[in-house]
Amino acid sequence: MASHLKSVKMSTLIDEMRKALCEYKNEHPSSSKKNLQLWVQQTFDLSVSQSTISNTLKRAVKIYIDVVFILASWKVTRKEK
């Protein structure tokens, strides 16, 4: 850990927290990563970095895109039968 972060206790989000974060971001699209970081801290009494916020949101978008693609492919396959 970097020396300037030794006194900062960071924790890991669990899946339910990630889901809640993504839902909160969808409901408040103009929220900055700093605001989301503060929301996580107030809501879950958990300190996370802004990069954790960013990575969580990026992964959520990728998962959403993957699911849409899979569903579209499944729909095409079903029509061909």
Q: What is the pTM of this model?
A: 0.70
* Residue 4 covered by a domain: no
Domain count, the chain: 1
| Cα–Cα distance, 70 to 75 (Å, whole number) | 9
* Residue 30 covered by a domain: yes
Amino acid 1: pLDDT: 42
* Residue 18 covered by a domain: yes
State the distance between the two ends of the chain, measured CA to CA, in whole angstroms.
Answer: 56
pLDDT tens-digit map of 35-59: 999 999 999 999 999 999 999 999 9
Token representation of residue 43: 């809501």
* Residue 31 covered by a domain: yes
| Cα–Cα distance, 41 to 35 (Å, whole number) | 10
* Residue 3 covered by a domain: no
| Structural domain of 60 | 13-80
pLDDT tens-digit map of 6-40: 555 557 788 899 999 999 999 999 999 999 999 99
| Cα–Cα distance, 57 to 32 (Å, whole number) | 12
